[in-house]
Amino acid sequence: MSTRILIVEDEFVVANSLRILLRQAGYSVSGIAASAEEAYETLQKDKHDLVLLDIRLNGSESGIDLARKLKTENIAFVYLSANSSQKILEEAKKTEPYGFLVKPFREKDLLVALDIAVYLHKNRLESKLRQEALFQRQLLEISHEDSDARQKFLKIAQAIRTFIPFDLIVCETNSTTAPQVSEYGYLRVGFDEYQYIGKEELLTISGLKSEALSAIIENSYSDNHMATFNNGGTTDAAPVTPMQKVWITCFKLESYLVFPVALNNGSWVHYTFYSRRRDMYTHSHLTVLNLFVSSLTSVTEKLVRPDAYVTSTIRLPADRKHEGTEDHRGSVPEFKGIIGKHPLLLAALDLTAQVAPYKTSVLILGESGTGKESIAQAIHALSAQRKGPFVKVNCAAIPASLIESELFGHEKGAFTGATEKRKGKFEQAHEGTIFLDEIGEMPLDMQVRLLRVLQEKEIELIGGKSPRKIDVRIVAATNRNLEREVAEGRFRLDLYYRLNVFPITLPSLRERKSDILPLAFYFATRFCKEFNKDFNGISASMIDELQGYTWPGNIRELENVLERSVILNDGRSELELKQNLMGVETRLFGEQKAETFGDVRRIQKETERDYLISVLRKTNGIIRGANGAAELLNIKPTTLESRLAKLGIQRGDFGT
């Protein structure tokens, strides 16, 4: 039976051309709708497999409005659009489309996009059914286990995460007879690891007194509502409770979802899922939970019964700040070289471990020097292609005139100077992984070629007569805001959607300052061994400066600082900082008072601006080449130039 498609397009000529093309390709086109309202009415009467959906439509609703309904009802859809503004892109991305085609597009691009959408949708539905069956079985097993309440709740959290993403899950009850489950929650930190957050931990983190926190907990829930909260807006009229404000403030959370479960004794238990991501939760998540409300009620009854509540010994892990060389996630060998245990880093590593076994394209985001290449190598090492080659391409370092030859290769005599046949990077990476670093620097004409490689899994050599099939896993990385690049016409929207299937964002070093000391000890130990010097520790003054600095160059800059300190150390004393990091920053923070988050952002920006100006003065305004500012900061020249432009730094600012 052929796939049934509904075309939603208000330009009849375009819609009719699509209908003819799709029917010739073997698809069953059941009709054309000129508006979102007409399309939804058609879909209520007749089941369709897929919707081909224009974003701009006549009527009161847009294609994005319709897409939200399609997502709730598990109907696959592919966007068609000639509009690529950043606002449109952000709204469209939230609906999680199965594809995105930018007009005008080739006939083959459309057919490939539809084939992929049908395949993905079928597999998602099958996967969802398997997950639902597994979840039901897990809840049944948990309800029969003889374990204490905290351990039960932890296992419930691990089971639910398949359907509901979260960084923090809290279970609270307003029962007067059942024990107060509301005194604990779990913070997910990666690799299926959870940190227990009990009352004592929350007092420490929040700075509240015990009596004040107890009063908040006791009065948190008066209404038994289901709600999703996203950045100040909620899907119903329920207000944010005092306890929710505590969690949101302590862990810098952006979204939450509340799901109440009624118990037989008339009391209620509220499961609250929190996320650091904006606009994470929708009514579809509540719909999923409602499917399991019976099983969830059963296991929750066992969770809160008095005889099941036994004090647990689960605690937050102790601080091991001086064990720098051991502070990585040793349970995953491929992450041995990635130092740190900050929740933002562990969340990124968690995503890495989850996506690695599949051939899904991955987009690694983060500032220069945050370790994007290390993550790409870990993805390769954990994948089924790990025995194949890992090929790195720095898109910013290849001249525009050579990039096509570098990526796709050429035949002998294809152009002047092509004296022999040459394999391109994609062919070299066959049955392995290709890492496209600085993908945001790729020229637009090459973006078109890359999109076709992603869609068709084949390449064509310069001067070649026929395409060649390749089996390559693509991992891309950038320090640019690709959504802004799309909006300004420098990056293709359809390529962005194909690469952004599974984004992983790496935190900057200033966002994970708790990892600075372990990293410093790791680099110090490594360089001392490399230079055959004894390591006698790091001085207290150097530690203070390392932890107070903003690190615009991130881990790469920290590594550079430690290497210099080890080189200049005599091997008999503690390491000392052999360069000035804090001169500008100390003055700024000493004179300005940060009362709001906006003040902190402003001070950080001014700090970075003054620091970069001081570096440029040292290099007499030279950015590139030996002894240039980029080399001193250990970052790419293009990255430095981008930061200078963003901060409004001009040549006159550094006196040359």
Q: What is the pLDDT of residues 149-194, one digit of tens each?
A: 777 788 888 888 877 888 889 887 765 544 444 456 888 776 667 8
pLDDT at 652: 63
Q: In terms of C-beta density within 10 A (0-12 exposed, 13-18 middle, 19 or more buried), how is residue 274 classed?
A: buried
Above 70 in pLDDT, residue 238?
Answer: no
Above 50 in pLDDT, residue 206?
Answer: yes
- CATH number of the domain that 231 lies in? 3.30.450.40
The reply to whether 162 and 115 lie within a common domain is no
- Domain boundary pick from 285, 308, 331: 308
- The Cα–Cα gap between 269 and 301 comes to 9
- Secondary structure class of 464 (helix, strand, coil): coil
Q: Is 324 within the bounds of a domain?
A: no
- The Cα–Cα gap between 306 and 475 comes to 51
Selection from 14, 13, 68 nearest residue 36 by Cα: 68
* β-bridge pairing 28-33 and 4-8: parallel
Across the chain, what does the average pLDDT equal? 79
**Which run of H or of E encompasses 191?**
none
Q: Return the higher-pLDDT residue of 78 and 318.
A: 78
Q: Which domain holds residue 450?
A: 343-506
pLDDT at 305: 58
Q: How far is residue 343 from each of residues 158, 224, 307, 459, 512, measured CA to CA in Å?
A: 17, 31, 34, 40, 8
Q: Return the higher-pLDDT residue of 443 and 319.
A: 443
pLDDT at 424: 86
Above 50 in pLDDT, residue 98?
Answer: yes
Structural domain count of the chain: 4
| Rounded (5°) CA angle 642-644-646 | 70
Q: Is 217 within the bounds of a domain?
A: yes
pLDDT at 231: 57
As a whole number, mean pLDDT of residues 572-590 equals 62
The reply to whether 163 and 301 lie within a common domain is yes
The reply to whether 101 and 152 lie within a common domain is no
**Cα 158 from chain centre:** 20
The reply to whether 369 and 480 lie within a common domain is yes
The reply to whether 195 and 213 lie within a common domain is yes
- Band the pLDDT of 328: cuts 50, 70, 90: very low
The reply to whether 290 and 374 lie within a common domain is no
Selection from 28, 19, 25, 67 nearest residue 47 by Cα: 28
The reply to whether 95 and 187 lie within a common domain is no
Under 8 Å between Cβ of 464 and 408: no
Q: Is 175 within the bounds of a domain?
A: yes
pLDDT at 330: 41
The reply to whether 154 and 217 lie within a common domain is yes
- Domain boundary pick from 308, 328, 355: 308
Q: Is 140 within the bounds of a domain?
A: no
As a whole number, mean pLDDT of residues 338-361 equals 84
**DSSP of 370-399:** S-HHHHHHHHHHTSTTTTS-EEEEETTTS-
> Phi, psi at residue 95, to the nearest 5°?
-80, -5
The reply to whether 293 and 162 lie within a common domain is yes
- The Cα–Cα gap between 578 and 638 comes to 27
- Band the pLDDT of 375: cuts 50, 70, 90: very high
Q: Is 524 within the bounds of a domain?
A: yes
The reply to whether 368 and 266 lie within a common domain is no
Q: Is 80 within the bounds of a domain?
A: yes
* β-bridge pairing 422-423 and 409-410: antiparallel
- CATH number of the domain that 360 lies in? 3.40.50.300
pLDDT at 107: 83
- Domain boundary pick from 308, 332, 366: 308
Structure tokens at 337: 């070289």
pTM > 0.75: no
pLDDT at 653: 65
Q: Is 321 within the bounds of a domain?
A: no
The reply to whether 498 and 520 lie within a common domain is no
The reply to whether 119 and 180 lie within a common domain is no
Q: What is the pLDDT of residues 441-482, one digit of tens each?
A: 888 888 988 888 888 888 888 877 778 888 999 999 998 888
Q: Is 435 within the bounds of a domain?
A: yes
